[in-house]
Amino acid sequence: MKVQEVMSNHVESVRPHATLRQAARKMSELGIGSLAVVENDELLGIITDRDISCHAVAIGRDANSTDVEVAMVKDVSTCYDDQDLAEAVSTMKEHHIRRLAVIDHDNKITGVLTVDDLVRVSHDMAGEVLEAATPIH
């Protein structure tokens, strides 16, 4: 099975110079936990609700004046849309992540693969990703 058969095709995004408050509001309104950070069709990073809370609000940054690019993850793990799903799952486990940006061979973002997407096709794969992504305290 290929990633494109399972992934979410619609990717919500935000620009790098949007404020953290704008990003948080968009996530809240859409009921999602992450946004692709995109400019000129190029994937620059990913910002999650956790990034906003842990890397900004918790250390006293003002969400009204702090740009997304300050808190976003710049080293984004990706996979290709025509890649085998098992390979993408391996990448998610290796990097301990619950969502994976999906790109085409022109490096344009075409979707996102999440644990929720995996649940629809394989509880085992979803469980493996969750187990690998869950921090141990």
What kind and span of H or E run contains 79?
Answer: strand 78-80
Q: List, for residues 20-36, the tens digit of each pLDDT value.
A: 999 999 999 999 989 99
pLDDT for 58: 84
Q: Quick check: helix, strand or coil at residue 54? A: helix
The strand pair at 13-14 and 34-39 is best described as parallel
Q: Quick check: helix, strand or coil at residue 133? A: helix
Total domains in the chain come to 1
pTM over 0.85: no
pLDDT for 13: 95
For tokens 């493996």, name the residue: 128
Q: Token pair of 109, please?
A: 């973002």
Q: What are the φ and ψ backbone dihedral angles of 113, each rounded to 5 degrees?
A: -110, 120
> What CATH number is attached to the domain comprising 70?
3.10.580.10
Cα end-to-end distance, the chain, whole Å: 35
Q: What is the domain extent for residue 12? A: 3-133
pLDDT for 137: 53
Q: List, for residues 50-102, the tens digit of each pLDDT value.
A: 999 988 888 888 999 999 999 999 999 999 999 999 999 999 999 999 889 99
